[in-house]
């Protein structure tokens, strides 16, 4: 565990962000110590700004999973892993081979594969970075005295919970509170730790995100690249959903809908490219500019025909044909996918200039969360807790802007209502990294359509071991306490 990348920032002395891969040192000689950072941050919490910025930069940086692979470009890499594992995204050709082992269930069953380690390494790297901020502000139980300190603490706690959530999703077949699943690091000085139970891991997520809401209650962020209280609530909704706490998921999502100030995308916006962080319905994302220095090794470099990309070169990631066939002809989302291009999302994700292969240096933005997720999670939670009227209301709020007549929803009850919510979640959020989460949450079964290269028509249930990663060999070998 302690050989992972570690963010050791010298912002206090140098005014810049530095990071270095090295083995654990309790008092690194080339940097100020954790105690010195804590002491300085108590006097001036703004010294943590570089550390928090480093967390967000890691979210989209190339190579942040510790490799030089072209599938290693931050959180959106693992959004793609999940979409492909769920079967809702089809890898329609393998000219270059990126993501092939994911779609063929090789990576998930072989704990020696680099892609397997990449997932583990990335999210634990975020956790260490978040713990650096938390430790610097006094530790997990501290409440900083200044507003700036509270805001940095809130963002760091939210990002720690976010990272543990994705690790728990990818490394546990399904939620079982008594199963030991992950080492649970709450600070930067812990030795190698054994696995904690899912109950303990999820309890930390809930506490961190509950704390984050309070700490960020008066935080007015500079841009949507930062986590605010609404985003922390959105994260918490996913955590509750994964545990089956549907009443809590209903409450949290209703709060975001009522107080967040976000509106559902119009038809024009839903087919407008998903390329601009300023889109009012986006809750969280990142403003990518030419200064970000992203190119082929990026999410756009894998997905967009209007980018110099693998999709443009022939390795198209399209919508699953079976899922596409379930979209009515009069649904505006049907136009998001090109039948002549292997159901590529040419009408959903595209660079605004619309020059085939034209975007070389990436300046189109990344989306992490939007308000439609809250409506769909709310509909799901309402249906699962017996509030079918509430479920229909939240689902119709979206569908009224997607089809000419959404009144068919009024007649849905029971399993038919739940099935429709699940289906519309898969369609609405396609390619945004939410299909895998929904598959597990709803205990679904993936059944690949005809445009996949492997396992066409083979039912794969949500808890199939091929859908879940194994703890990588590097961790097994380097953490002697893992299974104690």
Contact 362, 298 (CB under 8 A): yes
Rounded to an integer, what distance in angstroms lies between the CA atom of residue 220 and that of residue 211? 17
**Torsion angle in degrees (nearest 10) through CA of 347, 350, 352, 353:** -100
Give the model's pLDDT for residue 23.
32
For 21, 39, 404, 466, the CA distances from 472, given in Å and listed in that order, are 19, 36, 49, 15
Contact 116, 469 (CB under 8 A): yes
Q: Quickly count: other Cβ atoms within 10 Å of residue 356's Cβ.
A: 12
Phi/psi-derived region of residue 467, left when phi > 0, alpha when psi is between -120 and 50, beta in every other case: alpha
Q: What is the pTM of this model?
A: 0.92
For 159, 189, 325, the CA distances from 132, given in Å and listed in that order, are 12, 10, 48
Rounded to an integer, what distance in angstroms lies between the CA atom of residue 90 and that of residue 431? 10
Best CA proximity match to 377, nearest among 319, 327, 421, 408:
421
Which pair of structure tokens corresponds to residue 167? 């690790």
Q: What is the pLDDT along the chain (484 residues), one digit of tens a residue?
A: 433 333 333 333 233 333 333 333 333 334 455 566 666 666 576 778 889 999 999 999 999 999 999 999 999 999 999 999 999 999 999 999 999 999 999 999 999 998 889 999 999 999 999 999 999 999 999 999 999 999 999 999 999 999 999 999 999 999 999 999 999 999 999 899 999 999 999 999 999 999 999 999 999 999 999 999 999 999 999 999 999 999 999 999 999 999 999 999 999 999 999 999 999 899 999 999 999 999 999 999 999 999 999 999 999 999 999 999 999 999 999 999 999 889 999 999 999 999 999 999 999 999 999 999 999 999 999 999 999 999 999 999 999 999 999 999 999 999 999 999 999 999 999 999 999 999 999 999 999 999 999 999 999 999 999 999 999 999 999 999 999 8
Rounded to an integer, what distance in angstroms lies between the CA atom of residue 83 and that of residue 434? 7
């Amino acid at each position: 565990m302690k050989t992972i990348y570690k963010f050791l920032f010298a912002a206090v002395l140098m005014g810049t962000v530095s990071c270095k891969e090295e083995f654990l040192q309790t008092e690194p000689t080339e940097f100020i110590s954790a105690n010195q950072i804590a002491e300085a941050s108590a006097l001036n919490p703004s010294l943590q700004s570089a550390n928090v910025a480093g967390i967000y930069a890691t979210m989209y940086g190339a190579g942040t999973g510790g490799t030089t692979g072209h599938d290693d470009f931050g959180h959106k890499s693992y959004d793609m892993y999940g979409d492909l594992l769920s079967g809702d995204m089809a890898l329609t050709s393998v000219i270059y081979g990126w993501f092939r082992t994911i779609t063929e269930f090789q990576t998930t069953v072989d704990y020696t594969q680099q892609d397997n380690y990449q997932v583990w390494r990335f999210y634990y790297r975020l956790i260490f970075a978040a713990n650096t901020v938390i430790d610097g502000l006094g530790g997990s139980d501290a409440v900083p005295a200044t507003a700036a300190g509270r805001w940095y603490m809130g963002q760091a706690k939210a990002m720690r919970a976010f990272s543990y959530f994705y690790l728990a999703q990818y490394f546990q077949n399904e939620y079982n509170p008594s199963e030991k699943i992950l080492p649970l690091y709450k600070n930067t000085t812990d030795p190698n730790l054994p696995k904690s139970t899912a109950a303990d891991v999820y309890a930390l997520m809930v506490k961190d995100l509950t704390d984050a809401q309070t700490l960020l209650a008066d935080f007015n962020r500079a841009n949507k690249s930062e986590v605010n209280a609404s985003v922390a609530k959105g994260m918490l909704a996913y955590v509750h959903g994964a545990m089956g706490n549907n009443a809590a998921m209903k409450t949290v999502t209703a709060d975001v809908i009522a107080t967040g100030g976000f509106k559902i995308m119009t038809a024009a916006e839903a087919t407008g490219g998903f390329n601009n962080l300023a889109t009012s319905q986006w809750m969280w994302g990142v403003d990518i500019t030419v200064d970000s220095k992203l190119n082929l090794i990026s999410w756009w470099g894998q997905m967009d025909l209007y980018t110099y990309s693998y999709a443009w070169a022939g390795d198209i990631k399209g919508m699953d044909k079976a899922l596409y066939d379930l979209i009515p002809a009069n649904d505006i989302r049907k136009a998001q996918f090109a039948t002549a291009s292997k159901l590529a999302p040419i009408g959903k994700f595209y660079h605004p200039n619309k020059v085939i292969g034209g975007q070389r240096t990436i300046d189109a933005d990344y989306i992490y969360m939007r308000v439609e997720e809250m409506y769909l999670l709310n509909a799901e939670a309402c249906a699962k807790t017996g509030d079918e009227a509430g479920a229909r209301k939240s689902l119709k709020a979206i569908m009224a802007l997607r089809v000419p007549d959404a009144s068919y929803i009024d007649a849905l009850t029971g399993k038919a209502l739940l099935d429709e919510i699940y289906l519309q979640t898969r369609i609405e959020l396609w390619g945004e990294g939410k299909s895998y989460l929904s598959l597990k949450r709803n205990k679904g079964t993936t059944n690949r359509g005809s445009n996949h290269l492997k396992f066409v028509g083979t039912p794969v249930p949500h808890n199939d071991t091929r859908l879940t990663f194994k703890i990588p060999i590097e961790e097994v070998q380097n953490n002697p306490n893992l299974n104690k």
